[in-house]
């Protein structure tokens, strides 16, 4: 029998897709992003529509509302996954507030405020409440790596204590880089895994390695090279400028060449057309500068005349224009792509990357179609957990639970 899971803060469904590819069964999701909810519905048609809930997780009654809509009860869910935003560690911080209270510089009732009690972490608090009510066998939570080092690790310690208070005896965390698991992008994130059992967590071993300076292959035939930007997007149709489909939410184009590597074949499957291959309009002078940039280069490496042509300050703009490399993985794809794509300039064409190209860099297969405006599609992709990384985690989680 397949392990069943619920994905909280789960749209557009990167983590869900990875767990499904590993053989687990999705039972539902909860998120407030409406375009992402539509994307999730369209790509997980086997989930009842009422189980894909658009709701504000900060509300006190959100778990009850989710239960009422989905009819899911304790025992129906084996695993809860998700990545609740945790803002409380990123500004003043729990430890700093506690020290101010202790010194009398700030009013407060507690000198040892708990992470879960920080009002900015209401979404994380809801995540814990779901665990307490549904009581799954295991939990997987994803977040940014800054959480690990913040305040000498006190936030991580508190999260583990919160999981243990919710009934999970065994809690571990680990920083994983998506590029080491077949994703054509360097993306480091921290994952927490918690189980009811005392046995150790089984974490995925690296499957992909970089070529060294001598061009040698990975350490064993069982491993593969890192997937490069060219591997990821090199087969997608050429996009002429100016883009003629600016007002369309989806642009369907026929592939113009056969796949040239294993990753491209996997992404395409048996499709003949590709969706979401749309990009932005660009100013003429920006296009001229794009053409002069070398793959892998950035703003500071432009000629003085090119920088002057665009007109931005070097002091504040050094790293904001970046052209993707050809024979290396991409840098991290973020949700800021929805507002500004100039950190993701196409390596061989005079434009920023398309929605589908961003999805390929995140390891979404081409049959996974994104809904909403172009900006909403970019935002969904930038916020997602790469499916291939999630799949590797899920496969080893199954071993952890069965062992």
DSSP 27-49: EEEEES-HHHHHHHHHH-TTS-G
- What are the backbone angles phi and psi of residue 334, rounded to the nearest 5°? -120, 170
Residue 326, number of CB atoms within 10 A of its CB: 15
User: What backbone torsions phi and psi does residue 141 show, to the nearest 5 degrees?
Assistant: -125, 135
CB 358 within 8 A of CB 378: yes
Dihedral angle sign, alpha carbons of residues 179, 226, 389, 274: positive
Q: 204, 137, 197, 134: which is closest to 170 by C-alpha?
A: 197
User: What pairing do the DSSP bridges indicate for beta strands 208-209 and 224-225?
Assistant: parallel
The DSSP string of 266-331 is HHHTT-SEES--------HHHHHHHHHPPTT-BGGGS-HHHHHHHT--HHHHTTT-BBPPSSS-B-
Enumerate the active-site residues.
86
């Amino acid at each position: 029998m397949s392990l069943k899971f619920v994905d909280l803060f789960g749209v557009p469904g990167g983590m869900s897709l990875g767990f499904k590819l590993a053989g687990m069964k999705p039972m539902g999701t909860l998120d407030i992003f409406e375009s992402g909810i539509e994307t999730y519905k369209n790509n997980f048609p086997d989930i009842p529509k009422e189980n894909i809930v658009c709701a504000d997780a900060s509300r006190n009654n959100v778990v009850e509302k989710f239960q009422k809509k989905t009819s899911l009860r304790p025992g129906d869910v084996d695993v809860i996954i998700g990545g609740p935003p945790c803002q409380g560690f990123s500004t003043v911080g729990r430890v700093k507030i506690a020290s101010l209270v202790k010194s009398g510089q700030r009013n407060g009732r507690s000198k040892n405020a708990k992470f879960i009690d920080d009002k900015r972490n209401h979404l994380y608090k809801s995540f814990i409440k779901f665990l307490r009510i549904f009581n799954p066998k295991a939990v997987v939570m994803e977040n940014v790596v800054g959480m690990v080092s913040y305040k000498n690790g006190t936030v991580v310690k508190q999260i583990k204590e919160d999981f243990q208070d919710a009934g999970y005896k065994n809690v571990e965390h680990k920083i994983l880089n998506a590029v080491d698991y077949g994703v054509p992008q360097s993306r480091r994130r921290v994952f927490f895994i918690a189980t009811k059992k005392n046995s150790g967590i089984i974490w995925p071993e690296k499957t992909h390695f970089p070529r060294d300076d001598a061009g040698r292959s990975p350490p064993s035939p069982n491993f593969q090279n890192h997937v490069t930007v060219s591997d990821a997007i090199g087969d997608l149709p050429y996009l002429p400028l100016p883009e003629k489909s600016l007002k369309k939410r989806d642009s369907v184009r026929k592939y113009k060449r056969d796949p040239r590597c294993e990753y491209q074949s996997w992404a395409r499957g048996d499709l003949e057309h590709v969706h979401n291959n749309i990009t932005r309009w660009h100013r003429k002078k920006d296009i001229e500068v794009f053409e002069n940039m070398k793959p892998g280069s950035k703003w500071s490496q432009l000629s003085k005349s090119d920088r002057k042509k665009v007109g931005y300050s070097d002091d504040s703009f050094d790293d904001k224009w970046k052209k993707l490399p050809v024979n290396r993985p991409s840098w991290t794809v973020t949700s800021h792509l929805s507002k500004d794509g100039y950190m993701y300039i196409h390596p061989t064409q005079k434009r920023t990357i398309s929605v589908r190209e961003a999805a390929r860099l995140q390891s979404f297969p081409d049959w996974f179609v994104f809904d909403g405006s172009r900006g909403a599609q970019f935002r969904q992709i930038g916020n997602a957990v790469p499916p291939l990384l999630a799949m590797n985690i899920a496969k080893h989680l199954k071993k952890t639970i069965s062992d």
